[in-house]
Structure 1
């Protein structure tokens, strides 16, 4: 399997077949370059490495996407984190830690996004 197909498989495992199908529907001659980059490099090379497990990668991504205030990507990676075994308590702690180092506005938005994802996955009590 080449890196592009490896990346697509990892994306399916993390975020579901519907996510990949949605990306395919939006693909056009302009965004194809960034989609290929994401599939081949991000998922096909980096996420495929064995140096750290997927749960740790998810934890790192949640923190970084919170710091960068990227709500759309955060929502996708929160879903992936649940798939990778992150618990609701762990997600809460990651976001609280981010509040200290990234600031309350960024973490507050991340908590809001996380609540939506957790509610959609019936994980909120």
Structure 2
């Protein structure tokens, strides 16, 4: 990012690249632009990219698909539906199948309750339908 308002250190740049790969370039660019335009949002984007993606998601201990499954389960448990939607897309980008995502959400429903499970299934179905529409007939 030339003339960036961010601290473009090595970890930040690695995190930015991985975040785009997992969540999609459009989503990340939209988030980063909001932070460029609004100084209040910059610190949380810096931390998200540098620490969350550059340090934790980039660790070698777990494959990206498993990290996505964990994120989906945690976000389901926390009821963070906007982020859940984003990470369901990310899980699919990381090679997850709809069947695997269904299993993750079933597991979450057991521990978080059926209302959580039902809502998360609804969100996952919307994402799957959106992706199918994007792919075309």
Q: TM-score range by the shorter chain?
A: over 0.9
Runs of 4+ in 1 over 4 A off after TM superposition: none
- TM-score (normalised: structure 2): 0.86
Verify: 1:119 aligned to 2:126, yes or no.
Answer: no
Distance in structure 2 (CA, Å) of the matches to 1:13 and 1:40:
15
Distance in structure 2 (CA, Å) of the matches to 1:112 and 1:21:
27
- The aligned length equals 123
State the 1:48 CA deviation.
0.4
Between the two structures, name the one with larger relative contact order (CA 8 Å, sep ≥ 6). 1
Gaps in structure 2 of 5+ consecutive residues: 1-8
Gaps in structure 1 of 5+ consecutive residues: none
SS at match of 2:58: coil
Verify: 1:109 aligned to 2:119, yes or no.
Answer: yes
Verify: 1:79 aligned to 2:89, yes or no.
Answer: yes
Q: CA RMSD in A?
A: 1.2
- TM-score (normalised: structure 1): 0.94
Distance in structure 2 (CA, Å) of the matches to 1:91 and 1:61:
11
State the 1:16 CA deviation.
1.3
Distance in structure 2 (CA, Å) of the matches to 1:110 and 1:49:
27
- Is the radius of gyration larger for structure 1 or structure 2? 2
